[in-house]
Amino acid sequence: MSAYKDKDARINGIKDQIRVVPNFPKPGIMFQDITTLLLKPKEFKDTIDMFVERYKGKNISVVAELEKEPFYHSDLLQSGGCPILARKKMGISIIQSIVPDVDGIEARGFIFGPPIALAIGAKFVPLRKPKKLPGKVISEEYILEYGRDCLEMHVGAVESAERALVVDDLIATGGTLCAAINLLERVGAEVVECACVIELPDLKGRERLNGKPLYVLVESH
């Protein structure tokens, strides 16, 4: 399901504040920049409010947000959908592409999950890259086209039978969201839905979510 199909008047304002930066960080890349959205209190609040309106009263006790490497979608599309070719075009070796930039999503921060969690009365659980969380963790390794990656969560952060919402700023190929779903379900949680600000529908990421519903605000082609 997508909010933009419901013709909510707030969607255009949100979309207008998401800047597309050509040739960043490499030539040929169209970067989806949400930092400009964060500079606009009204549109930023509208973004949070739209998620809160959807999930408040749904008995969701966990909001989990992902840490992942940056994704430069136009480069992938121009390379026929192959991340290895995309990264070669970007001047990055295949070996380097297997080692993710662990500060990728943190450069933008865990921005959307915490305010949504507070507003609906849920706890916030960060899903992070390896060796970023102290204490005991549970890990979910997953396979990407260019290698392997991993998400971790604190042991005991989520309990069996809790209802969870997975939040991310953008869905591209869907691999990281799928790993997040698997991680939460391994500890017995029920993943109610995945929520993203931006979807890149040409990459068909929602098809990898094993039937889990996906709610997005904005499409980008």
Is 193 a residue of the active site? no
For 109-132, the pLDDT digits (tens) are: 599 999 999 999 999 999 999 999
CATH label of the domain that carries residue 201: 3.40.50.2020
Reported as a single tens digit per residue, the pLDDT across 31-79 is 889 999 999 999 999 999 999 999 999 999 999 999 855 544 444 444 4
pLDDT digits (tens, 9 = 90+) for 2-26: 777 778 999 999 999 999 999 988 8
Contacts of 123 (CB under 8 A, 6+ apart): 61, 62, 63, 117, 157
Helix and strand numbers, DSSP H then E, in the chain: 8, 9
pTM of the predicted model, to two decimals? 0.82
Residue 190: phi, psi to the nearest 5? -100, 115
Distance of CA 61 to the CA centre of its chain: 19
Candidate list 69, 145, 185, 219, residue with the active-site label: 145
The Cβ-side half-sphere exposure at 188, using a 13 Å CA radius, reads 8
Count of structural domains within the chain: 1
Select which of 10, 69, 106, 108 is catalytic.
108
**Known catalytic membership, residue 207:** no
Q: Which domain, by its residues, includes 77?
A: 3-219
